[in-house]
A and B are shown apart, each in its own frame.
Chain A
Amino acid sequence: MKTEKRGKVVRYNKWGYIFLIPFILVYLVFQFIPLASTIYNSFFENYRSGLTQIGPNFVGLENYRTIVVNGDLITYAENTLIMWVMGFVPQIIVSLLLAAWFSNPSLRLRGQRFFKTVIYLPNLIMASAFAMLFFTLFADSGPVNSILAQMGILAEPYKFMSNVWSARTLVAFMNFLMWFGNTTILLMAGMMGIDTALFEAAEVDGATSTQAFFKITIPLLRPILVYVIITSLIGGLQMFDVPQILTNATGDPMRSTMTLIMYLNKHLYSKNYGLGGALSVVMFIVTAILSMIVYKFTNKKED
């Protein structure tokens, strides 16, 4: 569809550059300088002890060595991925399911408007406010524990934040709650671009709605799906605020909920631009590789 008539377009192409100017200008001024200094700093010993600046002293790849040698990076990467998957799998399933139901004309769901509106609402609550509610609800003496106790499931209060898997589950659950509406909206907006005539034609041909979903919706939704997966992956690798607030920045129990960015944040306490910079560069490379794989994999049918 889009390869036709490319030739005529050529003379307008200088507009491509013109339209890019605002982005590039703002990017260079506000983000590129800090970014470049991040990479530059990763080769230096550069931190603050209290108010005393140490460095910058050039140390070559020493910061990278430190990161690799102490081995924590792998642990935190694992934690991050585990919690991301725990949140993302239900998130994408629920989102696709909802999007499919909403876009399926034969289902004729009532109150769609209400449901579509409601799902995004949790995202409006600040993570810190959300965490306050979680603390209240999942406290030892909180309502969740007392309900479980009344139902006879628990003899004594379960310490949600003191056990590895329940703590991770709460983090994943909160991430899920905050972001599934976001994903669903993205998918719905994508589906809106799909011509309903295609579904009608499919129905006439006797296709079931399941078939229609997998044969029509998913393929046409591919670019948006790619977007959702890649941004979720990136967002997942950069998971920070929810576990940070829920565990008071400790990553307890025993740092099993400590994510990569929480680890990075630890270094920012001492303004450790050296180690922090190196960590960012490593994360950037890992993210880039993963995203490229996803991008190539999901886009391969296109040409």
Chain B
Amino acid sequence: MKNDRETNLKKGMNIKARRGVAYVVLVAISFLCLFWFYVLFINATRAHAELTKGFTPIPGSSLWTNWKNLSAGRAASALPIWYGLFNSFFISTLSAALCTYFSTMTAYAIHAYEFKMKKFMFTFILMIMMIPTQVTALGFLQLIGKMKLDDSFIPLIVPSVAAPVTFFYMKQYMESSLPLSLIEAARIDGSGEFCTFNSIVLPLMKPAIAVQAIFTFVSSWNNYFTPALILHTDKKKTLPILIAQLRSTDWLKFDMGQVYVMIVFSILPIILIYMFLSKYIVQGVAMGSVKG
């Protein structure tokens, strides 16, 4: 651990060795991460009957057939996968937007202002975070039924405004990266509080927002439990419900090849969205200049 001054001479060598180690580890980890996509893709190219043989590393030739079986036939029995795609996209985008915007706002309220309830509110929100969601889920459903919000997107989108985990992250991030002096400066310039939040705080929070937007988007995209119990109309269903529906189909129609194609179909868009959002995290936003 403790390198002496002398070792600085060897630093050049040292760094090379460490760089080597880093590359090896990184390549291994990347393999571990990408391997699953390879398996998914392979399985999507194989016919149902071939899949019963177990895994092979060589792609099959049924990708197109599987896809046609899945999407084909405007016939009434075809799954509305394009609607599913749109619904998933709509719900996830709005959830991510509402969640990050209002969580940042909530965190900002706690971070930047002094008021009586502040400590209480912070602790309170932290406590909420620790409540297992499983039990309240069923109570939530009954509530939705009473509010006549069954088969509606609202109960899937609006609750994300109150997301304690995202709030907590925003709060922690502000602690390390949002100096209050900056807000002071804005006030001196005569900027209104709401305006300050939107035009100064939000841009500074970009990396954090991008991170949490991805997380919220992904978890909303992959959520099955609540949507499955709330959405009933085929055209309103999200992709995970359609996948589950494909899997619980009768044996006459059961086709794992289609299931895998459907999984690939539902992962591709989210990969693209991730690529888009990740540039905010990966390329970096010049925070250093602000802190200076």
Contacts and interface: CB of A to CB of B under 8 A. Distances in A.
Interface of A: 1-2, 4-6, 8-10, 12-20, 22-24, 26-27, 30-31, 33-35, 37-38, 94, 97-98, 101, 106-109, 111-130, 133, 136-137, 139, 141-143, 177, 181-182, 185-186, 188-190, 192-197, 206, 208, 210-211, 220-224, 226-227, 230-231, 234, 238, 240, 260-261, 264-265, 268, 271, 273, 276-277, 279-280, 283-284, 287-288, 291, 295
B132 A117 contact: no
B251 interface: no
Main secondary structure of the interface of A (DSSP, over half): helix
B135 A12 contact: no
A4 to B, nearest CB: 7
B115 A16 contact: yes
A210 B3 contact: yes
Interface in B253-292: 263, 266-267, 270-271, 274-275, 278, 281-285, 287-288, 291-292
Contacts of B79: none
A6 B54 contact: no
Contacts of B133: 238
A12 B114 CA distance: 9
B218 A38 contact: no
6 contacts: A12-B187, A31-B140, A124-B274, A189-B281, A264-B135, A291-B130
Given A19-B108, A116-B278, A193 B287 contact: yes
Interface stretch (B59-67, B69-77, B158-166): B158-166
Instruction: Identify the interface centre among A27, A113, A182, A210: most chain B CB within 10 Å of its CB.
Output: A27
B281 to A, nearest CB: 6
B34 interface: yes
A303 to B, nearest CB: 13
Contacts of A231: 129, 165, 168-169
A288 B130 contact: yes
B77 to A, nearest CB: 23
Contact of B115 (A13, A120, A220, A283): A13
A14 B125 CA distance: 19
Contact of B114 (A10, A101, A197): A10
A238 B132 contact: yes
Contact of B179 (A2, A128, A268, A279): A2
Interface in B1-43: 1, 3, 5, 7-8, 11, 15, 18-19, 22-23, 25-26, 29-30, 32-34, 36-37, 39-40, 43
Given A121-B37, A291-B130, A223 B278 contact: no
B175 A139 contact: no
B126 A123 contact: no
Contact of B161 (A26, A141, A185): A26
Given A193-B173, A227-B169, A31 B128 contact: yes
Given A31-B128, A31-B140, A117 B282 contact: yes
Contacts of A194: 176, 287-288
A26 B101 CA distance: 14
Contacts of A141: 54
Contact of A128 (B118, B162, B180, B224): B224
Nearest to B125: A23
B3 A12 contact: no
B233 interface: no
Nearest to A285: B130
Nearest to B222: A126
B29 A94 contact: yes
B229 to A, nearest CB: 12
B127 interface: yes
A255 B135 CA distance: 21
B143 to A, nearest CB: 6
